[in-house]
Structure 1
């Protein structure tokens, strides 16, 4: 075994704990606070303190998601550190991801604007600003963080571009379910509850499509590998 092969083997051994550490970080930062932390300890009413507490809860997830993606990127890199890794998503994938994020942002914003301005008479009564911020402001922040993260993975040609939306969209569904619970606490109007239910349905649909893309990409990669094997045998 050459020195280069021994070095590569040592690098792979060091990567083994990451396969458990990465998901554990994601579980600890995302699921544990949401599932085991009582909502009453975070939400104290429609006030700034509750809003900051909810944003802080999501910031913990964002930190965990960033660490998870960095570790996943490390595991997905080639065994030989000297080899470059240029993973570029297709344009249709980028377009659809940006489209889903924009729709997820514009729909609640337009509904809130229509209610506050009185343009949409059916969206009455109006929801107070702090109540709407408690329910939706963390949601908008997570949309912005996901958009920035995806753009960076595309720019750096990171192999994790395929799983990045899955990580954020799965948590977003939990976030919106939390918003449904908070809507009862702040006495939100019925149309706000229906809007949140619509957003949950939208992101479940998008998440399902993302998972189908993962399955398609796995099949595409296997077909590519199978096609390369006969060529390598023929070249020998």
Structure 2
């Protein structure tokens, strides 16, 4: 009889294994990959910026639902197991450092452009169209990661991967928009550099998942 509630909980969790990724796919990948950019972006103005932010908000909603379902499926029941899910401080430091670097560099480029150090200058609204949604979603990712660390959620390894995979698509969208707003060559190369940076970070995150899986397997094999 004691196993019946546990079995019922496991049965209720099974649909989440398909529902969670499906929500992430519908809200993140489908609009970005199949929705024509011309139907969303109306021009280098406030309306165009808000339309891009709205597109990313749809993804963020799906990412939040996905992470909540993943947390429900993976959260341990026993306190002893929960203590083992403590996030290493070096991992926290690395993630915050990578995110802050990806956040500060575009702002430095904007400052240099406004000061005339980078020529030709990029209008402020064009900068917001190209990298404004990127900076906003990066801020949301840092907040989401810190919350998973504080709550000792089992999705702390998955959270940056979800956001960084979408960030690559987000920056590729910025490359397409660079021609629409007449961005100078230095801005285009900067966005390409950001794409390369986040692909590298995403690869490191995936290596971290493999390393953690190896540690977990080794722990289970120990008597």
Does TM, scored on the shorter chain, surpass 0.5? yes
Q: Distance in 2 between matches of 1:192 and 1:5?
A: 60
Aligned to 1:162: 157
Structure 2 residue 223 is the aligned partner of structure 1 residue 225: no
Q: Identify the match of residue 31 of structure 2 among 27, 30, 33.
A: 33
Quick check: which has more Rg, 1 or 2? 1
Show the 5 A alignment for 1:1-236. Answer: 3-78=1-76, 81=77, 83-84=78-79, 85-86=82-83, 87-118=85-116, 120=117, 123-227=118-222, 230=223
Unaligned runs of 5+ in 2: none
* TM-score relative to the length of structure 1: 0.91
Q: Distance in 1 between matches of 2:4 and 2:16?
A: 20
Give the Å deviation of 1:112. 1.1
Q: Distance in 2 between matches of 1:20 and 1:111?
A: 42
Q: Distance in 1 between matches of 2:2 and 2:144?
A: 33
Superposed structure 1 runs of 4+ greater than 6 Å apart:
none
Give the Å deviation of 1:145. 0.4
Q: Distance in 2 between matches of 1:88 and 1:4?
A: 29
Give the Å deviation of 1:4. 2.0
